[in-house]
Amino acid sequence: MKVAVVGATGLVGRKMLQVLEERDFPVTEFIPVASERSAGKEIVFKGKTYRISGMEQAVEARPRVAIFSAGGNVSLEWAPRFAAAGTTVVDNSSAWRMDPAKKLIIPEINAHLLTREDKIIANPNCSTIQMLVAIAPLHERYGIRRVVVSTYQSITGTGVRAVRQMEAERAGNDSIAERAYPHPIDRNCLPQCDVFTDDGYTKEEMKLVNETRKILDDSIRVSATAVRVPVVGGHSESINLEFARDFDLDEVREILRAAPGVVLQDDPARGVYPMPILANDRDEVFVGRLRRDFSRDNSLNLWVVSDNLRKGAATNAIQIAEYLHANGLLTD
| Domains assigned to the chain | 2-123+313-326 (3.40.50.720), 127-308 (3.30.360.10)
DSSP assignment letter at 27: -
Please give the backbone phi and psi of residue 254, each rounded to the nearest 5 degrees, phi first: -65, -40
Q: Which among 112, 193, 235, 325 is annotated as catalytic? A: 235
- Clarify whether 126 is annotated catalytic: yes
Distance, CA of 13 to CA of 215 (rounded, Å):
25
Distance, CA of 225 to CA of 206 (rounded, Å):
9
Which residues fall within 8 angstroms of residue 47, CB to CB, at 6 or more apart?
A: none
Adjacent-strand bridge partners of 59: none
Q: What is the pLDDT of residue 100?
A: 97
Distance, CA of 83 to CA of 80 (rounded, Å):
5
Residues of the chain predicted below pLDDT 50: none
Q: How far is CA 147 from the centre of its chain?
A: 19
Q: Where does residue 115 rank: exposed (0-12), middle (13-18), buried (19+ CB within 10 A)?
A: exposed
Give the chain's count of helices (H) and strands (E): 10, 13
CA distances from 40 to 30, 34, 35, 44, 55 (A): 15, 9, 10, 13, 12
Please give the backbone phi and psi of residue 29, each rounded to the nearest 5 degrees, phi first: -140, 125
Q: Which among 126, 189, 193, 325 is annotated as catalytic? A: 126
Q: What number of other Cβ atoms are within 10 A of residue 49's Cβ? A: 8
Q: What number of other Cβ atoms are within 10 A of residue 9's Cβ? A: 19
Average pLDDT taken over every residue of the chain: 96
Q: What is the pLDDT of residue 332?
A: 74
Please give the backbone phi and psi of residue 229, each rounded to the nearest 5 degrees, phi first: -125, 155
In 3D space, the residue among 306, 285, 307 whose CA is nearest the CA of residue 11 turns out to be 307
Cβ(60)–Cβ(54) below 8 Å: no
Please give the backbone phi and psi of residue 36, each rounded to the nearest 5 degrees, phi first: -60, -30
The torsion angle over the Cα atoms of residues 108, 113, 117 and 119, rounded to 10 degrees, is: -40
- Clarify whether 325 is annotated catalytic: no
Distance, CA of 283 to CA of 169 (rounded, Å):
30
